[in-house]
């Protein structure tokens, strides 16, 4: 297509000067809105799955071992696991809010007896002191064999743009943005890491402030959010096409 005023092809005009900036900005917005929309659709599917799982798990007896394979059917099931905490390697899940205060949720690896499978145990919430120094306050007793009680969960990664763990962190505990099991397994140097998190029961001796809540609503709101993001994406495309392919050719 050729611009009737300048005689230059539209494709050429979009790839130079201010046109290139507008084009790159538009493509960035499209990518962001598409990712946000897909994230909301994923959240809606997750909520549906969680609601179904919670109905099945409510009356089931606690399990004493992590099954092999996909743990999704075990979501919301109560577990009583024997093993030991890996006190040398702990994670702080960042940006966790409780009573309008920012803090972390302490994630401690737990090595189960028998299978040797490692699972992250969410021990609860701790507020940080501004400079985020919690390194001396999250130790657990060095006990070889304990029994932990909790609910198996599969937390969402949320909307993510970066890595889950900043590679520049050299000491422990390490701050993480979300539970990326492959990255955690690599950092811990373990072969078998469960793709789930055990939320420690509030009455356990190693727990902090209980900050986990089961699903309180269905997937409907996430479908609504997805529609909004996709509508914004469509609006950006329409505006871009109008300004660059229609208006300038009038």
102, 50 Cβ separation under 8 angstroms: no
**pLDDT, tens digit, 9 for 90 and up, residues 26-73:** 888 899 989 988 888 888 877 777 666 655 555 567 788 888 888 887
What pLDDT is attached to residue 249? Answer: 53
Residues 206, 223, single domain; the answer is no
Q: What is the pLDDT of residue 17?
A: 55
Band (247; pLDDT cuts 50, 70, 90): low
pLDDT tens-digit profile of 92-111? Answer: 888 888 888 888 889 999 99
pLDDT of residue 4: 47
Q: Supply the DSSP string of 35-99, one letter for each residue.
A: HHHHHHHHHHHHHHHHHHHHHHHTTPPPBSSPPSS--GGGTT-EEEEEEEE-TTS-EEEEEEEET
The C-alpha atoms of residue 238 and residue 222 are separated, in whole angstroms, by 24
In a domain, 66, yes or no: no
Please check the confidence at residue 197 and state whether its pLDDT lies above 90: yes
Do 57 and 17 share a structural domain? yes
Q: Is the pLDDT of residue 164 over 80?
A: no
Taking a C-beta distance cutoff of 8 angstroms, is the pair 47, 217 a contact?
A: yes
Query: Residue 165 is part of which domain span?
Result: 77-213
Whether 185 and 92 map to the same domain: the answer is yes
Measured between alpha carbons, how far is 115 from 69 in angstroms, rounded to an integer? 13
C-alpha 16: how far from its chain's center? 38
In a domain? residue 69: no
State whether 31 and 84 are in the same domain: no
d(CA 38, CA 208) in angstroms, rounded, equals: 34
Residue 72 lies in a domain: no
Query: Where are any strands of DSSP class E within the chain?
Result: 78-85, 91-98, 101-112, 118-127, 146-153, 174-176, 193-200
| Any domain includes 70 | no
């Amino acid at each position: 297509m050729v611009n009737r005023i300048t005689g230059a092809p539209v494709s050429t005009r979009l790839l130079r000067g201010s046109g290139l900036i507008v084009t790159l900005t538009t493509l960035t917005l499209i990518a962001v809105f598409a990712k946000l929309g897909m994230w909301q659709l994923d959240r809606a599917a997750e909520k549906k799955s969680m609601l179904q799982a919670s109905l099945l798990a409510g009356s089931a007896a606690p399990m004493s071992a992590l099954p092999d394979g996909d743990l999704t059917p075990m979501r919301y099931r109560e577990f009583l696991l024997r093993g030991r905490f890996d006190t040398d390697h702990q994670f702080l899940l960042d940006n966790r809010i409780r009573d309008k205060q920012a803090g972390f949720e302490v994630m401690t690896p737990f090595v189960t007896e028998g299978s040797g499978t490692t699972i992250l145990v969410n021990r609860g919430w701790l507020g940080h002191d501004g400079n985020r120094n919690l390194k001396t306050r999250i130790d657990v007793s060095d006990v070889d064999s304990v029994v932990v009680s909790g609910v198996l969960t599969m937390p969402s990664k949320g909307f993510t743009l970066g890595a889950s763990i900043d590679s520049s962190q050299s000491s422990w505990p390490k701050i993480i943005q979300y539970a990326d099991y492959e990255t955690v397994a690599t950092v811990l140097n373990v072969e078998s890491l469960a793709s789930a998190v055990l939320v420690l029961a509030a009455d356990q001796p190693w727990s902090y402030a209980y900050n986990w809540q089961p699903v309180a609503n269905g997937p409907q709101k996430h479908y609504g959010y997805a529609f909004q993001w996709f509508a914004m994406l469509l609006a950006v495309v329409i505006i871009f096409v109008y300004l660059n392919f229609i208006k300038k050719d009038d």
